[in-house]
Amino acid sequence: MRRRAVTAGGAVLLLLLAGCSDDPGDSGAPPPVSSATTTVTVPTAPPAAAAAALGPTGPSTAKPCQGVPIPVGADPQTVIDAQPQGTTFCFAKGLHRISKPVRPRTGDTLGGGPGVVLSGSVRLDKWTQDGDRWVVRGVLPAPYALKGQCEDTKTKPCQRGEQLFVDGKHLTRVMSLGRLKPGTFFGDYAANAVYVADDPAGHAVEMSRTPTAIDKSADDVTVTGLTIEHFASRPQAGALQAGPGWTVTANEVRWNHAVGIMVIEGDGAELSRNTVADNGQLGIGQYKSAGVRITANLVTRNNTDGFWIADWESGGIKSTRSSGEVSGNDIVGNRGIGMWSDIAEYDRRITGNRIRHNAADGIRYEISYQAVIEQNVVEGNGFGTGRGSGGSLWDGGGINVNTSAGVQVRGNLVKGNRNGISIQSRTRGDGPRGRYVLADVVIEGNLVFMDDATASTGVVENKGSPTAQGAVTFRRNSYRFAGDSRTRFAYRGKTLTWPEWQQAGFDKDSVTG
Please write the tens of the pLDDT for every residue from 211-247: 999 999 999 999 999 999 999 999 999 999 999 999 9
Average pLDDT over residues 248-275: 98
d(CA 188, CA 176): 8
Q: Residue 19: its pLDDT value, please? A: 29
What average pLDDT does the segment 163-176 reach? Answer: 97
pLDDT at site 28 = 37
pLDDT bracket for residue 173 (50, 70, 90): very high
Q: How confident is the model at residue 454 (pLDDT cuts 50, 70, 90)?
A: confident
Cα dihedral: 259, 169, 156, 253 (round 10): 0
Instruction: Report the pLDDT value the prediction gives residue 354, as an integer from 0 to 100.
Output: 98
Reported confidence tier of residue 388, pLDDT bands at 50, 70, 90: low
Rounded to whole angstroms, how far apart are CA atoms 418 and 422?
Answer: 11
How high is the pLDDT of residue 30? Answer: 36
The pLDDT of 321-350, averaged and rounded, is: 97
3-state secondary structure of 344: coil
- Residues 6 or more apart from 132 whose CB is under 8 A from it? 197
Could you tell me the residue ranges of all domains in the chain?
48-58+210-512, 122-208
Q: What pLDDT sits at residue 40? A: 60
Rounded-to-integer distance, Cα 28 and Cα 442, Å:
19
The mean per-residue pLDDT over the stretch 48-66 comes to 97
Model pLDDT, residue 429:
87
Strands 116-119 and 227-229: parallel
CB 344 within 8 A of CB 311: no
Task: Tell me the average pLDDT of the chain.
Answer: 90
Q: Encode pLDDT of 424-450 as tens digits.
A: 999 998 888 889 999 999 999 999 999
Architecture in CATH of 48-58+210-512: 3 Solenoid (2.160)
Please report which confidence band the pLDDT of residue 390 belongs to, taking 50, 70 and 90 as the band edges: low
For range 5-10, the mean pLDDT: 35
Q: Which of 223, 259, 279, 10 is nearest to 109 (CA)?
A: 223
Which range is least confidently modeled, 2-11, 136-145, 420-429? 2-11
Question: Which pLDDT score is estimated for 308?
Answer: 92
Of 273, 269, 227, nearest to 250 (Cα)?
A: 273
Q: Region 28-56: what's the mean pLDDT?
A: 70
Residues in contact with 503: Cβ distance below 8 Å, sequence separation at least 6, in sequence order: none
Q: How many residues are recorded in the chain?
A: 513
* Whole-number pLDDT of residue 24: 29
pLDDT in tens, 99-133: 999 999 999 999 999 999 999 999 999 999 999 99
Question: What was the pLDDT predicted at 26?
Answer: 34
Q: What percent of the chain has pLDDT over 90?
A: 83
pLDDT at 31: 38
- Write down the pTM of the prediction: 0.91
Across residues 315-340, what is the average pLDDT? 97
Helix (H) or strand (E) holding 81: helix 76-81
3-state secondary structure of 168: coil
**Residues 37-64: what's their mean pLDDT?**
88
> Helix (H, G, I), strand (E, B), or coil: what is residue 214?
strand
The average pLDDT across 390-412 equals 93
Q: What pLDDT is attached to residue 386?
A: 59
Cα–Cα distance for residue pair 255/276, rounded to 1 Å? 9
In this prediction, what percent of the chain has a pLDDT beyond 70?
90
How would you label 403-416 residue by residue, b for 16+ Cβ within 10 Å and e otherwise? bbbbbbbbbbbbbb
pLDDT at 342: 96
- The pLDDT confidence band at residue 9, using thresholds 50, 70 and 90, is very low
Highest mean pLDDT among 3-7, 21-25, 60-64, 428-432: 60-64
Alpha-carbon dihedral sign for residues 41, 45, 49, 51: negative
Q: What is the mean pLDDT of residues 55-60?
A: 98
- In this predicted structure, what is the pLDDT of residue 485? 67
What's residue 1's pLDDT?
33
pLDDT of residue 389: 63
pLDDT reported for residue 10: 36
Query: Is the Cβ–Cβ distance between 120 and 209 less than 8 Å?
Result: yes
Residue 159: DSSP 8-state: G
> Which band of pLDDT confidence, cut at 50, 70 and 90, is reported for residue 387?
low
Q: Write out the E strands in 211-336.
A: 222-224, 227-229, 238-242, 247-249, 252-254, 259-264, 270-272, 275-277, 282-287, 292-295, 298-300, 315-320, 324-327, 330-332
